[in-house]
Structure 1
Amino acid sequence: MRRATWHLWVVLGAVLGALAARTARVTSDGGMDNAIVVRAARVWLAGGSPYDDSHFLYLPSAVLAAAPQVLIPRSVLSVLVPVVVTGCLVGGWVCALRLHGVALRSRFAALGLTGLAAGFAPFAHLVLLGNWTAVAVLALPLGLLLAGRGRWVAAGLVIGAAVAVKPLLAPMGLLFVFAGRWRGLAALAAVPVVMSAAAALVLPDPAGFFTRTLPFLLRGGDSFVRLYEASPAAVLPRVGVPGVVAGGIAVAAAGAGVGCAYRRWRCGDRGPLRLAETAGMLMLSAFLVSRPSYDHYLLVVVPVLLAGLPREGSVGRGVWFWLALVPQLPGVTWPYLETGQRRAFRDAVTLGGLAMTLAAHCLRSGRVFPPLPVPSSRGAAPSAPHEAAPGRG
């Protein structure tokens, strides 16, 4: 490794260490969002229902996943959680680089992660909250990396495990549908279903996720949740748009995004950009319509797209991609959006800007490359040159 590159990694280590250390000093139970899950596990161990807390928005399997944290002293947990969250974010960046064939010793590898940590506000926000979105940040590029190598069943297991912890990556099932990888899709669905069913058997309220959490989400949460949501269905009513109209706009935008994702998948370029951009479009479409939809959800998509910057034709090479990220620059105060309760408007601009930029890129790709042949009746999509033989997936 060249000395200049080594120096960049030293700077990166200092930035990441500072983020984790600050979180350890100012939080308990590893952050506000992690504390919600730990509190739910404590309630369960005491004989109560974790779904008594309306802000516990996870599947039953997450209760068992959080239970070991109850046994860890809070002083240790306050240090351990930000370190683990930071590790997930770093691991996700490494997998995204490997997906695009970028060398880990390159300057871009160090500069890209430094830019995310120091120049993209949701990165520090996610570490501070200790939110389990970090699992999805790691699982998505890892799953795409496995899929790119033809290992679709393994990819389904990885993404399914992430869904069992937090159902954020559930829309990725559509990627398996587009590819005709039915065994991978079955693996993705089976993991959270089996784990949640097993966990529900030991909960006092086994159907609590369906009887309490889902109605809470369908109602749009509560006044606290709505203040920080970035989806159009949550933001537009705050500026006077009727809720029904705002919801319709969100659904229409999400549907159009799914159509653009399918268009991108059907394009004839078979490199890793096809996987990354299709997955990114699917996830952004889900964030447009999902309730809740927070700023740190963007970290699921941005690193996978950013890591493809060295590749010709990447969406990251367009100016609109970077303009969409401008509202997330830390330390920049925007007129009329100074208070934390109005941050959702900035997040909505970034979410909408990224979605429109990637959608336009997907449509342009459809004009540049001819559509791929329709998959055979066996349901196996044509394998890309960088993928392994279809029989492995």
Structure 2
Amino acid sequence: MKYVNYILEDFVKDEYFQKWVLDSDAMTNGFWENWLADHPNKRELVEKARRLVLLMDFDNDKLSEKDFDGMWRHIIEKRNDIQKEIRLTQKSKSRVFLKVAAVFVGLVALGIVSYTQGVFDAAPVESVVVQPQITLELEDGTVAVLDETSSKVVTDASGKKVVSQEKNKLQYDKANKESGSLEYNVLTVPYGKKFGIVLSDGSEVYLNSGTKLRYPINFLKDAPRNVYLDGEAYFSVEKDESRPFTVITDDMNTRVYGTEFNMSSYKDENNTSTVLVEGSVSVYKSNNGEAGKPIKIKPGQRAIYNEEAILVEKANINKYIAWKDNKLLFVDDSFDLMLKELERHFNVEIENEYQELGLKKFTGTFENESLEKILEVCQEHTPFEFYKEDGKIIIVNIKPSV
């Protein structure tokens, strides 16, 4: 592992080390405890780095006056090794970065130091593959490419306005269609991206990576509101008891009148489920149509379609909606399931050739960590090797030494 060759500054600038010191969870703590057990000669160095990180997080008052003075002297003694510029490469990536900036700005004002030691220069992250674009397919077949950093009005082939785009969200005009046939749009969000939409009834939907949603431009005035999901999305549905709102998937449908819930149904993963955040919903098997007896679930419950049956269980809501905040939250999840989420999140293909590893269970939270960092953490749980080949990540068992 690369940590074997780390010096003090390397540990301090390492985001996963910072997370262990300031905001540890079971997986992070397990990683560093196992690493220190395997490398006892690094304990003294790690302890110095830990105290320095705590110094930079001075608001938490975790450091003794003696440790504070010692770490302060270390900074002063290193001032002659400083670089020519301060460069913070990632905006608000952790509390540590902001606290460090404040510490060194104060030192500059006092005339003690002029520049940092370059501890917080992050290595550039190389993209594995170029991300595809978010697209909106209109009723007339026109396909509009959506750049989530810009705003515009999307029009059809005749130049008629269809919807307004406000950066990473589509906003349809609030209106109902009196009668006639419905006209549909299809929003497709590729791996590595997320996107929001406000439907014509005011309901809001936030689409996860690798998701497609088909929905009417305007709902009919006196008819049910139906949308079609392939992937995962978080719904906040406008209440309308006269027109139930139904999310339709290949395996299980979810019917609501006004509530918030998360639904996941990726066609190639056999994982259709609905997690209720608030309100009340009913779920039923898709192939039963209206004849299927709905099963009601309560907030904090999860309905799962499994082998032609629907099961209901208590759920950790945060686990299933963490993706909305760009977090990865795993709770006793198999490595194979982790890989599927990592593929969507990082827009990369991962091939696991170590079959036994796929069944191992992992727990941990990741927010700003790179794919490489997450895999390195998993390596401490169960050793394996990974490498990049032809644009994808290959995971293999460690070859026995000869």
Higher helix share: 1
Higher strand share: 2
Q: Which has the larger radius of gyration?
A: 2
Aligning the two structures, in what range does the TM-score lie when normalised by the shorter sequence?
under 0.3
- Higher RCO (C-alpha 8 Å, min separation 6): 1
TM-score (normalizing by structure 2):
0.23
